[in-house]
Amino acid sequence: MVGRNATSEGSFILLGFSRWPQLEVTLFVLILIFYLMTLVGNLFIIVLSHLDARLHTPMYFFLSNLSFLDLCYTTSCIPQLLVNLWGPENTISFAGCVTQLYFVLSLGIAECVLLVAMSYDRYTAVCRPLHYTVLMNPRLCRLLAVASWASGFTVSALHSSLTFWVPLCGHRQVDHFFCEVPALLRLSCVDTRANELTLMVMSSVFVAVPLILILSSYGAIAGAVLRMPSKAGLQKVFGTCGAHLVVVSLFFIPVMCIYLQPSTESSQDRGKFIALFYTVVTPSLNPLIYTLRNKDVKRAVERLMGWD
């Protein structure tokens, strides 16, 4: 399976899950189901937040951004994986690999920063409720969203350029199901320690630092919650903050398992399945996590359907 349809000049072979050919059909079905769930669930949140005026709040503005980001993030790599799992071809052109790496990095970094903005929104709502509308004004919300997207696309342009600047050896077999930095660096004929150090620094800045900021926000929220006398207030806080904290955990924990640990052969194989989780499963679960117990969304659906 590794050598099927060897790549033409200027293309790469994405090895993906070719070591486990018996799993490919099962993986294709499961990934297709999760991908369709991602499309439907996130489009539902985007459309509903746009159509219902009562959801024109900072929380749902950021949630719509997260949904659109998840749609783009999953689409940047999953359709290519489905094609590779289904057919005899498992190649990607050089231009396609460059584009895929750029967008996967861009959207991953943007999501890290956007989750920080969402945690600040929750912190302001719980800890500064009297000043919430002033602090989280529409202009600031737009600036935070733009900063998230801009930081992702800017940093990714630099890091993608550094990755493809490295000369490659004769074979172009990428031991992953999409073009990612560590797998591409393993194809190099030269010393890549400078690139690996850059990757580690970038991972620390855009994974560890956002996680510290998010946990700091929730530390302050926890302190405010403990001082609340009303059970109704507690339930409301847990309803809005709990969902975001689950989403943060589903995104950051797998990413840290991959990018903040030493690379070995066993971790490389394990990393493929971890990457499959945060590129396929997490984006499909986010809409469910935010909507299942969300009364605002349920009421918005009722108004949209004319049941209210």
Say which range, 88-92, 182-186, 282-286, has the weakest mean pLDDT. Answer: 88-92
Residue 120 in domain: yes
Q: Which of 75-84, 88-97, 108-117 has the lowest mean pLDDT?
A: 88-97
Q: Averaging pLDDT over each range in 151-165, 191-205, 248-262, which range is the top one? A: 151-165
Q: Report if residue 193 sits inside a domain.
A: yes
What six digits make up the tokens of 245? 């904290």
CATH of the domain at 151: 1.20.1070.10
Q: Is residue 4 part of a domain?
A: no
Paired tokens of 144: 């935070």
Boundaries of domain holding 127: 11-305
Q: Does residue 86 belong to any structural domain of this protein?
A: yes
2 assigned to some structural domain: no
The pLDDT of residue 263 is 60
- Does the pLDDT at position 293 exceed 60? yes
Strand, coil or helix: what is 198? helix
**Does the residue 174 lie in any domain?**
yes
With respect to residue 5, please indicate whether it lies within any of the assigned structural domains. no
Among residues 303, 302, 272, 243, which one has the least CA distance to residue 59? Answer: 243
Average pLDDT, the chain: 85
Backbone φ and ψ for 90, nearest 5 degrees, come out as -135, 40
Return the minimum-mean-pLDDT range out of 6-10, 15-19, 142-146, 211-215: 6-10
**What is the tally of structural domains in the chain?**
1
pTM for the full predicted model: 0.88
Q: What is the pLDDT of residues 27-71, one digit of tens each?
A: 999 999 999 999 999 999 999 999 988 889 999 999 999 999 999
* pLDDT, tens only, 247-267: 888 888 888 877 666 565 556
